[in-house]
Amino acid sequence: MKFKIHIDNLQVKTYIGFYPEEKLSRQKVIINIEAEVNLSDSIIEKDSPEGIYDYKILSDDIISFVKNGHFNLLETLTNKIADIVLRDPRIIWTRVIISKPDALTGTAIASVELLRSRN
């Protein structure tokens, strides 16, 4: 069976940006992930967490990675998060969208989107 997993509005503070002032303090990024995962019928029928794709573990891994890193570009961060999602061989594809709400003046929000498949 194929399922879509969503993690929406995951907010993490990290060092992001290449301007000198951006390297001085952490900024908030908002991460949205969609992934298609292939799970066996038996896993679903058991109704047990054993063998399931655990989005809590994925979320924790991403938070730790982002919080402890420094990235010049949103594009680089987006690609690295896609790498983390695709570590599990059951993931067929993923879409990662990262927004940097404080990058632009006014109410505009800058974001980057990446769609990657296993192949």
Tokens linked to 30? 């908002």
Domain 2-117 = CATH 3.40.50.970: no
Q: For the chain, what are the domain ranges?
A: 2-117
Entry pTM: 0.90
Asked if residue 99 lies in contact with residue 44, where contact means CB atoms within 8 angstroms, the answer is no
pLDDT at 117: 95
Q: In the prediction, which pLDDT does 49 show?
A: 76
Helix-strand-coil split of the chain, %, nearest 5: 30, 40, 30
pLDDT score at 40: 80
Estimate the crossing angle of helix 74-85 against helix 55-67, to 10 degrees: 150
The per-residue pLDDT string of the chain (119 residues; one tens digit each, 9 = 90 and over) reads 898 999 999 999 999 989 888 889 999 999 999 999 988 878 778 777 777 788 899 999 999 999 999 999 999 999 999 999 999 999 999 999 999 988 777 778 889 999 999 87
Per-residue model confidence (pLDDT) at position 46: 78
